[in-house]
């Protein structure tokens, strides 16, 4: 087998994701769509599998008419619309997906998709958006804000998360090749699973945005209103500074944040894609306090020419060039701590120095260009082909090992 050229990618590939539902359409789903389109361009057929499917019958969905293998969660009450309510069952459910006929399995995982079962003869490449946040380093913050945990179910939830951590580590060990969406995610994978991961930044549709539009003096925050996004810190900082802030998004934190908002802060709720684009294209700066694994929204804001004022930890270290740190071609300001004071100091510094005049929209947009979908497709294809070649070589070595067979003589 030595010297033999590696085989090309197999024609049929399994592509596994957690769930396909209109209630969850974000960065992870953009990655799956990009991988699916890439495989099609490479002449491969990607067969989809997920815990639940609420998209293939929805008119206008990119998955309309696709055949998608699903788990038993699909048939449970509210399984499709509220799949996460079955969290204790999800590790078991993902293992019921049958991908045994595929030589190559690709999973897009932020919870359990990487846990799909494969054999030693198969190659499993997993693109990891994050190890489970609320089971690992953000567990205590999650429990502090969880209504269920505060209602007397705290010990049960802690036990369930303990079990989930064990399964998360074991399933991470089963994957042949790990890809991470940022250096921060790669570090978390190393910490929690003891594995190395190659960094491939996710695709961002930068062409959706124009960077050359007139700008106003309003600051913008766009995200799901969930505890770990820490929108409360942003609102409290702008309450102190008396500067105008628009908050776009909805979620379980809505009522709490609405009560917290002062006279200069306005919660707009969910907005259309066109409305979000227009707000990003016209705002003075985009403010973001979440500890993100990557953070697509800040890159989208930069694609619209808006500087980013964000937390200087996590995925934003891969995307935002901090003016305070003396970076070449800065695109924003990074504050060091997840506190109201740290956010307020960064925004005040941005205002005092009128940095929106120095961080020109054209330069900010150029930084976002490196994350366009074409760049992701190129890097992902290279990583996939290298992993497949290594797998084929390993299989060839195994096949060439002498094997003693028992002869049956008549």
Q: Looking at residue 151, what is its pLDDT?
A: 79
Following CA atoms 311, 313, 318, 320 in sequence, which dihedral angle do they give, to the nearest 10 degrees? 20
Contact 312, 342 (CB under 8 A): no
Total residue length of the chain:
410
Report, at the CATH architecture level, how domain 12-203+372-397 is classified. Answer: 3-Layer(aba) Sandwich (3.40)
Q: Rounded distance, CA 319 to CA 331, Å? A: 9
The pLDDT-based confidence of 18 (bands split at 50, 70, 90) is very high
CB 186 within 8 A of CB 212: no
pLDDT of residue 1 exceeding 70, the answer is no
Summarised one tens digit per residue, pLDDT across range 80-122 is 999 999 999 999 999 999 999 999 999 999 999 999 999 999 9
**What pLDDT does residue 99 have?**
98
Structure tokens at 148: 């269920």
Q: Write down the domain spans for the chain.
A: 12-203+372-397, 206-370
- Average predicted confidence (pLDDT) for the chain: 93
- Cβ proximity of 197 and 128 under 8 Å: yes
Residue 403 has pLDDT above 70, yes or no: no
Whole-number Å distance between alpha carbons of 401 and 410: 28
pLDDT class for 239, splitting at 50, 70, 90? very high
pLDDT value of residue 382: 97
pLDDT at 133 over 80: yes
Q: Is the pTM of this model over 0.85?
A: yes
Residue 237 and residue 229: Cα distance in Å, rounded? 15
Give the CATH superfamily of 206-370: Glycogen Phosphorylase B; (3.40.50.2000)
Summarize the confidence of residues 366-371 as an average pLDDT.
Answer: 96
pLDDT of residue 355: 94
Q: 6 pLDDT exceeds 90?
A: no
Taking CA atoms, 65 is separated from 54, 61, 97, 98, in Å, by 11, 9, 20, 21
Q: Which residues contact 303 (CB under 8 A, 6 or more apart)?
A: 204, 206, 208, 209, 211, 280, 365, 368, 369
Is the confidence at residue 148, as pLDDT, over 80? Answer: no
Domains 12-203+372-397 and 206-370 share a fold: yes
Q: How far is CA 338 from CA 144, 237, 288, 370, in A?
A: 16, 11, 10, 27
């Amino acid at each position: 087998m030595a010297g033999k050229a590696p085989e090309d990618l197999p024609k049929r590939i399994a592509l596994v994701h957690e769930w396909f539902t209109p209630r969850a359409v974000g960065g992870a789903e953009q990655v799956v769509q990009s991988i699916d389109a890439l495989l099609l361009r490479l002449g491969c057929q990607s067969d989809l599998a997920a815990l639940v499917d609420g998209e293939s019958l929805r008119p206008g969905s990119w998955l309309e008419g696709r055949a998608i293998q699903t788990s038993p969660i699909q048939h449970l009450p509210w399984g499709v619309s509220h799949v996460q309510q079955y969290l204790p069952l999800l590790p078991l459910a993902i293992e019921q997906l049958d991908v045994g006929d595929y030589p190559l399995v690709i999973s897009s995982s932020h919870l359990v998709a990487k846990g799909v079962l494969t054999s030693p003869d198969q190659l499993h490449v997993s693109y990891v958006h994050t190890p489970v946040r609320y089971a690992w380093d953000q567990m205590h913050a999650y429990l502090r804000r969880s209504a269920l945990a505060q209602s007397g179910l705290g010990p049960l939830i802690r036990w369930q998360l303990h079990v989930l951590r064990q399964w998360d580590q074991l399933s991470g060990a089963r994957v042949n090749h790990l890809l991470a969406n940022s250096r921060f995610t790669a570090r978390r994978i190393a910490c929690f699973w003891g594995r190395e991961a190659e960094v491939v930044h996710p695709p961002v549709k930068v062409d959706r945005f124009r960077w050359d539009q007139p700008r106003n003096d309003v600051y913008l925050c766009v995200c799901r209103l969930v505890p770990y996004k820490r929108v409360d810190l942003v609102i409290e900082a702008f309450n102190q500074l008396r500067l105008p802030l628009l908050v776009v998004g909805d979620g379980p934190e809505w009522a709490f944040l609405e009560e917290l908002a002062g006279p200069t802060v306005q919660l707009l709720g969910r907005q259309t894609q066109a409305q979000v684009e227009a707000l990003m294209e016209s705002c003075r700066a985009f403010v973001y306090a979440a500890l993100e694994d990557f953070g697509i929204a800040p890159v989208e804001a930069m694609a619209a020419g808006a500087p980013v004022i964000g937390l200087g930890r996590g995925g934003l270290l891969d995307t935002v060039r901090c003016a305070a740190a003396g970076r070449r071609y800065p695109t924003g300001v990074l504050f060091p701590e997840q506190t109201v004071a740290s956010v307020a100091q960064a925004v005040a510094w941005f205002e005092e120095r009128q940095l929106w005049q120095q961080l020109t929209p054209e330069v900010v947009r150029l930084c976002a260009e490196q994350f366009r979908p074409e760049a992701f497709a190129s890097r992902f294809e290279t990583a996939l082909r290298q992993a497949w070649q290594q797998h084929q070589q390993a299989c060839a070595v195994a096949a060439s090992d002498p094997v003693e067979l028992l002869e049956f003589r008549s």
